[in-house]
Amino acid sequence: MCVTCTGGQHRDHDVVGVEIAHAELKDVLAAKYPHVSQSMQSVTSQLRQVQEEEDQTENSSRDAEDSLEEKRRLVCQFVNESVNLMKSEINKKKMEKLSLLGKQREKLEQQMEDLRGGKSTMDTALQDLEAISFLQGSKDLLKRLETMSDFKSVKRTPLPVLDFLKEEKNLDGLITLNKNFLEKIQKGPVEHPEKVELDQNNLRRLYGRSPSLDPNSAQRRIKISRDLRTATRTGTKNQYLEHPDRFDLYPQVGSCDCFSSGRHYWEVDVRSSSWWGIGICLNSMGRKGGKSGLGENPKSWCLDKRNNEYSACHNNRCTSLSVPRDHGLFGFFLDCEAGELTCFGDSRVLHVFRGNFTDPVKPALGIWDDDGSVHFVHLVK
């Protein structure tokens, strides 16, 4: 509003009455009011979303930290158990050597006692006896000295030096694995970074298992070796007792070992078979009828070889695998928490199965060629 105009002198200005201007401007503001109101609602909704995302971020971060703390506890527990196991092995070697050294000590102390007695007798003979008495008793004295225990030889058999290099290498491997893992974390997120470092040698050393076959699960045409490591397909039926775990249709057998947590690695020698299926099955998998074949139901996962072709099978679906040549040895790495079964052949990953492996699972195998034989390799940790 012009100050001069308010005094009545308009100087040729266009003039609008206050009441009219008031009404016109009020209409303009009223027209903009819904837009402002809608904008406020939109901003309010976005503020609510931001608040929800903040709460979700706090909650997920807290859950992740709690999960990491639990994993820290498990890692520490694993490290402690590994070190305790190594210390136990070292202590066992120490006690064995100390026992041998104790026996040597007892023998040497007895030799020393005999030598002291002989020396005392000689001192007496040399110092106290007269010539005639000395000559008369010398024959008996010499005879006594000759019959003394080990008098002529007091040589100690050296024992081998204790070697704890194996235990140190095991722990060095664990330290190196964690250092490499830490470096990868610092460089940025990596999916399953620990598997980049875990070759089969590390898997054998850290997670090696030697499964035993369960005779109660063996189908009647599967014969189990005495050491429970080898399964052989026979032409005649074996006289097994009835058992709910026994496969009744397919020539298959399961392991006594059952896993529901942790990491486990085992190897299977298939050089004596040309038609087989090897993998794992849930402990709850049915053993009777046409749906009990490995890889043919939702509760089993297996590598399969037939007609010189390899495939990975689960729930009656098979994926062809590119295997350039026949392999005699296959490795299996089960990570229950990650829900993965990694299959190795010729030191390379052939296939990775994914599933819920926190339900109890066990190694299992099937043999389809007559007189074929498959063997669980004994892995020494």
Nearest to 270 by CA among 129, 373, 147: 373
Q: What is the pLDDT of residue 195?
A: 45
Q: What is the pLDDT of residue 196?
A: 39
Asked if residues 275 and 305 have their Cβ atoms less than 8 Å apart, the reply is yes
Kindly report the number of other CB atoms within 10 A of residue 363's CB atom. 26
With a CB cutoff of 8 Å and minimum separation 6, the contacts of 79 are 174
Asked if residues 266 and 278 have their Cβ atoms less than 8 Å apart, the reply is no
Q: Across the strands, what pairs with 259?
A: 361
Q: Across the strands, what pairs with 272?
A: 373
Q: What is the pLDDT of residue 375?
A: 96
* Alpha-carbon distance values, 104 to 109, 163, 228, 276 (Å): 8, 20, 41, 56
Does the reported pTM lie above 0.95?
no
Nearest to 167 by CA among 99, 93, 97, 72: 93
Run of H or E including 378: none
Q: Give me the CATH code for the 212-376 domain, please.
A: 2.60.120.920
Torsion of CA 286, 288, 293, 299, to 10 degrees: -10
Q: What is the pLDDT of residue 232?
A: 97
Strand stretches in the chain, DSSP E? 222-224, 230-233, 252-254, 263-272, 276-282, 300-306, 309-314, 317-321, 329-335, 340-345, 348-354, 361-367, 373-376
Q: What is the pLDDT of residue 284?
A: 93
Q: How is the chain split into domains, by residue range? A: 21-151, 212-376
With a CB cutoff of 8 Å and minimum separation 6, the contacts of 368 are 233, 251, 275, 276, 277, 306
Asked if residues 217 and 188 have their Cβ atoms less than 8 Å apart, the reply is no
Each residue's pLDDT tens digit in the chain (381 positions)? 566 555 556 566 677 778 888 888 888 888 888 888 888 888 898 888 889 888 888 888 888 888 888 877 877 887 787 778 778 878 888 888 888 888 888 888 887 887 787 777 767 766 655 666 666 666 666 766 666 654 555 566 777 776 666 666 666 766 776 666 666 666 654 444 344 356 788 888 888 999 999 999 999 999 999 999 999 999 999 999 999 999 999 999 999 999 999 999 999 999 999 999 999 999 999 999 989 999 999 999 999 999 889 999 999 999 999 887 778 899 999 999 999 999 998 888 999 999 989 889 999 999 999 999 999 999 865
Q: What is the pLDDT of residue 193?
A: 39
Give dist(CA 209, CA 259) in Å, integer. Answer: 11
Say which DSSP state 88 is in.
H
Asked if residues 352 and 342 have their Cβ atoms less than 8 Å apart, the reply is yes
Say which DSSP state 160 is in.
P
